[in-house]
Structure 1
Amino acid sequence: MPDQHEPSPTLGFEKPSKRTLFKHWVDADDDGCPTRAEVLISEATRAPQVGAKCRLSGGEWQSYYDGATWTQVGDVDIDHMVPLAEAWDSGASAWNPARREAYANDLGDTRSLVAVTDNANQAKADQDPAEWLPSLEAVHCRYVAEWTAVKLRWQLTADTAEKNALTRLAANCPDTAITVKKAT
């Protein structure tokens, strides 16, 4: 039995969280606005003012997960449709850092990053559709289609529970077509 006064063998050597392995909110196009601001600008229902260093003020956003409307930037999170930890477990663990950064900042498909209520995003955390769905049932088909599109775009896998949930949910969405351009 180890001495009770010995430090834990992992102290100071904990593995980084999966989220930290994805560099996100970069300014990929060098326009002064990081990815988070780019999504807020593009998804605003009323355009915000863009100030120095891309500071946003004013504006309005509607979170499709819960139907809430927000006018304070701080009340809106940018959700990775397929959370970073879920992406990691679905194949991103084999990617190099540049591909993980591209995934975390994907502005090439509007379904990849979504402006939503901060509490809804926190409730979702890293859960897949087998474990979490938006509170508004009316948007479940949209959510399932967007989730599936992002998984296909990035060639990520789905575990059995996730696949079963997606199949069950998609059965209620007969008129939903998904078009995907694979990420490079």
Structure 2
Amino acid sequence: MTRRARTAALLAATAFLAAACTVEEVPEAGAPPPATGGPALAALADLPVKGRAPKTGYDRRKFGSPWADTDGNDCGTRDDVLARDLDDVTVEPDACTVTSGTLTTDPYTGRTLTFERGRSTIDIDHVVALSDAWQKGAHTWDPAKRIAFANDPLNLLAVDAGANRQKGDADAATWLPPHTPHRCAYAASQVAVKEKYGLWVTRAEKDALARVLNPCPGTPLPAGDAPTKAPPAFSAPR
């Protein structure tokens, strides 16, 4: 074998060994796998990541009067959500005020709950809490957008009152529904609301949402057609 041939063979062998010995990059311990998959994961990947802004200036009243009739159907938002989420619903003669019904499977606990007006253990939860939204972008919004957010059916669920109060204004990094079969849908709803309203997430929150959604990568992204601005008739203090 000539010197040139021996040199070529040596270079080829070196390249082969280098390729064979290449070590695949290992993700940092505890980090969720890359977000790939269905619509919810794709939307999560696009959410901006920032630190939590101060809660300074937050006031529930800056999101308008509770349960305003922003869709113009002459019924308050709370009754709209109860009528949507409960089974065997009864209403008062005004055709709006829900007086009783059954939450067949509470999304937060998995229990069956009975609604009876005035003695209920059911709350209407903001999936993305108003205070959490305030600290991740809503403090810059005009009143019409905050009112729309607080009354958007996409961001509202009838749930167990105890679980709702345990959640408080937590994001997905610090609270998830105890009823684990609902966690994929809950995470997808969080992502859908934050995408719709242009809210950001913290790094810990984004990682937590990815950990929930990666085992169920086909989870769809919930959609809602409510506008992100309340009608001009509604107003709220800045």
Asked if these proteins are the same fold (TM beyond 0.5), I'd say: yes
What does 1:111-150 align with in structure 2 at a 5 Å threshold? 112-150=155-193
What stretches of structure 2 of length at least 5 have no aligned partner? 1-55, 229-238
Identity of aligned residues (%): 38
What does 1:1-184 align with in structure 2 at a 5 Å threshold? 17-23=58-64, 24-52=66-94, 54-61=96-103, 62-73=105-116, 74-107=120-153, 109=154, 112-178=155-221, 180=223, 183-184=227-228
Q: Deviations over 1:12-42 (max 9, x none)?
A: xxx7643232113102244432101110011
Using the size of structure 2 for normalisation, the TM-score is: 0.64
User: Rg larger in 1 or in 2?
Assistant: 2
Take 2:204 and 2:178, find their aligned partners in 1: how far apart are those partners? 20
Decide whether the 8 Å contact of 1:49 with 1:59 is kept in 2: no
- How many residues are aligned here? 167
> 1:97 Cα shift?
0.8
SS at match of 2:157: strand
Using the size of structure 1 for normalisation, the TM-score is: 0.82
What stretches of structure 1 of length at least 5 have no aligned partner? 1-14
Which AA in structure 1 matches 2:70? A
Q: 1:16 to 1:173 in 2, by over 3 A?
A: same
Take 1:171 and 1:29, find their aligned partners in 2: how far apart are those partners? 35
Take 2:132 and 2:95, find their aligned partners in 1: how far apart are those partners? 32
Which AA in structure 2 matches 1:91? G
Take 1:177 and 1:90, find their aligned partners in 2: how far apart are those partners? 24
Q: 1:98 to 1:114 in 2, by over 3 A?
A: same
Of 95-104 and 69-78, deviating more is: 69-78
> 1:63 Cα shift?
1.5
> 1:169 Cα shift?
1.8
Identify which of structures 1 and 2 has the higher relative contact order when contacts are C-alpha pairs closer than 8 Å and 6+ apart.
2
Take 1:47 and 1:28, find their aligned partners in 2: how far apart are those partners? 22
Match of 1:3 in 2: none
> 1:48 Cα shift?
2.3
SS at match of 1:38: helix
Match of 1:8 in 2: none
Of 84-93 and 29-38, deviating more is: 29-38
Take 1:116 and 1:179, find their aligned partners in 2: how far apart are those partners? 18
> 1:139 Cα shift?
1.4
